[in-house]
């Protein structure tokens, strides 16, 4: 019964045993994740620093208010909460895969790993949709005293402050033809762009109701770069996590771990996957909630 001594009596530092009682690979995974936490932390903190240095910043409820298939309906926070829940659930399925590994349950590992991969792919799909929507989504902005239609890029974004109606009226007079076509086109879907382009400037201006336009100034320059940079870096982690999980799934199906006698590799992949979820919690906080 000497082997079942209570934890408090085990003297880990007497030599002859691993003082952390943890496998090398797992310990190194922890240290890698710690360093990765600093990388993400540095990114988010630089975002915070720039944000604190500005008098105005983009309002997340204005930026992230779209939902696939819902058109222009204003649904702040809706889509990102779907993404968050997908990641939480895929984290849970990963825990279950690791646990099945503890029980040397090959079928269980494969089942839960497969679900985790599905969750990861679903998240990546959501992110692809969101990026696509932000890049191609057209918004009328006031730029150099005229109106223009832009999406969010790393160089410019339409998330500034609302412009008062008098300024909009004035800017409309200076707006070039192609911008007018785009503005009218985003509100009148019954005419094609070619038909609209054939109209004269004054005809186009007559079709624009400035009260309906919701014109904003261009937003803080750094916003797009930080958003695409940080969510992109996180998305890359999700992507590599999915790849790792697929490799784990293949190895499990080929009985690599059964032959080894343990499923510790799944545990390490699991740590990485949970970390991806953990980072999302903070990205969610910094970009979408506050």
Partner 1 sequence: MEHQNISSEITYQHHIEDTEFKKRIRKTTILLSVITMIELAIGLTIYTMHKGEHPSALLVLMFKGMVCILTLAKAYYIVSVFMHLGDEIRNMIMTVVVPLMLFVWFIAAFLWDGNAFRTSRNRYDKFKMEKTMQHPIKQGDTTQHGFGG
Interacting residues toward partner 1 by CB under 8 A: 3-7, 12, 16-23, 27, 30-31, 34, 37-38, 41-42, 45-46, 48-56, 59-61, 76-77, 81, 84-85, 88, 91-92, 94-96, 99, 102-103, 161, 262, 264, 270-271, 274-275, 277-278, 281-282, 284-285, 288-290
d(CA 252, CA 259): 10
Q: How far is the CB of 182 from partner 1 (least distance, A)?
A: 26
Q: How far is the CB of 233 from partner 1 (least distance, A)?
A: 18
Contact 206, 184 (CB under 8 A): no
Nearer to partner 1, 49 or 240 (CB): 49
Q: How far is the CB of 228 from partner 1 (least distance, A)?
A: 20
Nearer to partner 1, 180 or 287 (CB): 287
Helix (H) or strand (E) holding 71: none
Q: How far lies 185's CA from each of 194, 211, 258, 272, in Å?
A: 10, 16, 61, 46
Nearer to partner 1, 58 or 181 (CB): 58
Nearer to partner 1, 63 or 196 (CB): 63
Q: How far is the CB of 79 from partner 1 (least distance, A)?
A: 12
Task: 178-185: list long-range contacts, CB under 8 Å, 24+ apart.
Answer: 179/146, 179/147, 179/148, 179/149, 180/204, 180/205, 180/208, 182/138, 182/149, 183/140, 183/147, 183/149, 183/208, 183/213, 184/208
């Amino acid at each position: 019964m000497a082997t079942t001594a209570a934890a408090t009596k085990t003297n880990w530092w007497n030599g002859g045993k691993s003082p952390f009682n943890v496998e090398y690979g797992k310990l190194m995974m922890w240290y890698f994740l710690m360093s990765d936490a600093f990388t993400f932390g540095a990114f988010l903190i630089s975002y915070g620093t720039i944000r604190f240095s500005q008098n105005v910043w983009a309002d997340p409820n204005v930026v992230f208010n779209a939902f696939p298939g819902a058109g222009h309906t204003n649904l702040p926070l809706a889509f990102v909460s779907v993404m968050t829940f997908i990641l939480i659930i895929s984290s849970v399925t990963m825990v279950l895969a690791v646990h099945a590994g503890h029980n040397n349950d090959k079928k269980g590992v494969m089942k839960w790993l497969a679900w985790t991969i599905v969750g990861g792919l679903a998240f990546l799909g959501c992110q692809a949709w969101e990026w696509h929507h932000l890049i191609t989504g057209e918004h009328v902005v006031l730029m150099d005293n005229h109106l223009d239609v832009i999406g969010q890029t790393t160089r410019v974004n339409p998330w500034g402050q609302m412009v008062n109606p008098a300024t909009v009226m004035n800017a409309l007079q200076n707006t070039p033809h192609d911008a007018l076509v785009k503005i009218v086109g985003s509100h009148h879907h019954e005419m094609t762009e070619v038909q609209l382009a054939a109209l004269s400037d004054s005809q186009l201006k007559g079709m624009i109701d400035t009260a309906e336009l919701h014109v904003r100034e261009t937003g803080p320059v750094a916003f797009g770069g930080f958003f695409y940079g940080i969510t992109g870096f996180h998305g890359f982690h999700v992507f590599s996590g999915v790849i790792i999980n697929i490799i784990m799934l293949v190895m499990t199906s080929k009985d690599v771990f059964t032959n080894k006698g343990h499923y510790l590799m799944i545990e390490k992949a699991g740590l990485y996957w949970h970390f991806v979820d953990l980072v999302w919690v903070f990205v969610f906080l910094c970009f979408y909630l506050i």
